[in-house]
Amino acid sequence: MPDYERPPVVEVVAAVQFLPLPQFGMREAVAVSRAFDGWDVVDVPPALDPIVEYPAGNVASPALRFGLGQPPVRAILASEGERFLAQVQQDRIAAHERKVDQPPSFQNVKPALRDVATRVSEGLGRAVLEEPHGPEVVEVIYENRIPAGEGWNDFSDAHRVLRVFSQEAGAPPYERFEQARVELAYDLRDADDFAGRLRVVSDPQIGPDQERWLHLRLISRRMVHHRDVDSVLEQCHADIVRGFTAVTTERMHKIWGRLR
């Protein structure tokens, strides 16, 4: 599998969606937070919508959600120094590692996710990722920050970073664009069966001091289908590493110190 000495990754996330708990409100968020000794509660926003990846060729349709009582919440917790984050809601747990002194690593995030599952199970007094709350979907996310001046200078140089762009984006006078956002989706298969989807999103970003960078996000989602969660996580990780290499240019691979 491809590897790099200086990857531009700034955050790695591993998450699992499972069959939902009966409820997850403020009471459950407090119970979970007590199991994270030494961690701080960062926020308790509304829960994220469930992950749904429709088979290839189908388009997601808008859905209405109805409910009684207080809506489900999501607990976000941070370790000391905020290198690691944990997110917990009614049907999902996630572990994040952020770049602090060194780039984050999937090899750190995978055991961190297991630790989150253990703590959540202890806090709630019921096991997550086991029946009747077995895993359904695994998600791995890589957030990359590619600053201007490292292989490219202007947003119209996006072709120097991503293969999807052409040096001449159109006929004159529109051969160079000011900036562009791109979102790609690739269906993932096990043999001939739909297994999930790899998404690649590139966004131009400008900071408060006018610093410029490309935010490149890769998301792999795969259905579990009664398999071991760790093996599906490994598949998602491989999807992202190979996908990152496939959509970026050889010019950037040299800058990032590609090893293989």
Q: Which domain holds residue 246?
A: 9-55+71-255
Task: For residue range 193-234, list pLDDT tens digits in order.
Answer: 999 999 999 999 999 999 999 999 999 999 999 899 999 999
- Tell me the backbone φ, ψ of residue 198, rounded to 5 degrees: -105, 130
Considering the domain boundaries, does residue 151 fall inside one? yes
Task: Determine the residue type at 181.
Answer: R
pLDDT band of 2, cuts 50, 70, 90: very high
Tell me the chain's radius of gyration from C-alpha atoms.
Answer: 20
Side-by-side strand order, sheet with 182-190: 40-43, 75-78, 84-89, 92-98, 9-18, 135-147, 212-223, 193-206, 182-190
pLDDT at residue 16 is higher than 70: yes
Residue 260 located in a structural domain: no
The least confident of 36-50, 59-73, 87-101 is 59-73
pLDDT band of 61, cuts 50, 70, 90: low
Q: Is residue 160 part of a domain?
A: yes
Residues in the chain: 260
Could you tell me if residue 2 is inside a domain?
Answer: no
221 Cβ contact partners less than 8 Å away, ≥ 6 residues apart: 51, 53, 137, 138, 139, 196, 197, 199, 236
What are the tens digits of pLDDT across the range 130-158?
Answer: 999 999 999 999 999 999 999 999 999 99
Total domains, the chain: 1
Instruction: Classify residue 190: in a domain, yes or no.
Output: yes
